[in-house]
Amino acid sequence: MENNVTKDPISSEENEYDQLEQSLMNVMDILDKRKNASGQNIDASGKQTANNLMLKSLSDFFKQHNPTEVSEQVQLDGIVKALLELSPECILGTINECFNTKYALGTTKINYLKTNFIDTNFKETGADLVMDINSQIYHLEIQTINDKNMQSRLLDYGLAVAKMNSPLIDGYKVMSIPSQAVIFIEENKKIINQRLMLESNNEKLKHSIQTIRFWEYSVESLIQKKMYCLLPIVLFQHRKSLKNIVRRTKNSTVKRSEALNSASIEIQRTVKTISDTIEQLYKKSLILDNDALTMLEAVQNLTNYFGDKYFNNQILKEKVNTMVQKLYNPILAKQSKEEGLKEGLEKGRAEGEIKVLYTRMKMSDQEISKELKMPLETVKEIIKELKL
């Protein structure tokens, strides 16, 4: 006799979100170890060389896990988080837009605070980004999907941050909830402004969280508002259309192929626009070397995600890789030469170049040999000496 069990869709959704949150915590633990950060507060300048490793760490992590919807969501959240930890030159515009502030370069000091907390059930939870900017605390969340429990989560995170510094004043334990904002990446008409009302003893306290709908921003408006770090996220606009293509053409392989070919062309156009914009910002010294590298890596990661999930060939990846490498390689070469010149030796310069190409670019010894026009045996010997 069969037991007909009806699944509760709400319970299922909550379970999936719990899995997502825990998976994201696991990934961020891996990233923190890779960054070798000392102490729980990290100055913005100390994050520059670490951000490039963040996206590479995500790739390494997902090679060992099944590509489920939950793990995909973790990867996308991780990419956005990496972009929001770039230099002040790259992120100040985003901060000003999210929190209605007017911070300027040269007078703004950003410290990143710890984001892992233990809740009342002794479960570890994590906020996306908590910053001390000129002694003011800010909390920013990034959402790639709508979450019906978002207000509650934001309140929990806000209280957790407030508890980090809660002095006793005139007999009251004072807890200051930070200024909060949330960026929703993918368009969804069900997303509401994040507002809360707390009631106690007939008293009401309203708490509003700045709600940013990213799909309302064009490349031009991002540049105008100096929200440079979010440029790669413009690619997200294609995910919804790709999902729709798969859904509406499930009974026709020919129609799906035609629709995906058109979508691939549109994605390439978007990549070119983003890459060209990053190049212009870099040449005008509006962003730093590592900002440009991390942003280009994010573009590549997002395109690879589309390629792996929706396309059955490498054409999209290869074409995007060509566009990205046009700017990526010269910046990388410049950094490598600077590292080598600091050591003052030809071998030191070669070691610097090989180290970056091997660890950051994940190039093989044969590829490095070809790129640097260096004997393969020499490349292998240096890799061995450096214990890479």
Distance CA 11, CA 78 (A): 25
Helices of type H across 63-124: 69-83, 88-99
Residue 240 included in any domain: no
Residue 359 included in any domain: no
Residue 205 has pLDDT above 70, yes or no: yes
Read off the tokens for 130: 């908590």
Residue 13 has pLDDT above 50, yes or no: no
Residue 387 included in any domain: no
Residue 183 included in any domain: yes
Residue 362 has pLDDT above 60, yes or no: yes
pLDDT in tens, 307-344: 888 887 678 888 888 888 888 777 777 766 666 555 54
- Residue with the larger pLDDT of the pair 91 and 171: 91
Domain assignment of residue 16, given as a range: 1-216
Residue 193 included in any domain: yes
Residue 26 included in any domain: yes
Burial level of 174, CB count in 10 A (0-12/13-18/19+)? exposed
Distance CA 107, CA 294 (A): 25
Q: Are 331 and 293 in contact (CB under 8 A)?
A: yes
Residue 286 included in any domain: no
Tally of domains within the chain: 1
The CA angle 124-208-135, to the nearest 5 degrees, is 70
Side chain identity at residue 1, one-letter code: M
Residue 149 included in any domain: yes
The whole-number average pLDDT for the span 248-262 is 87
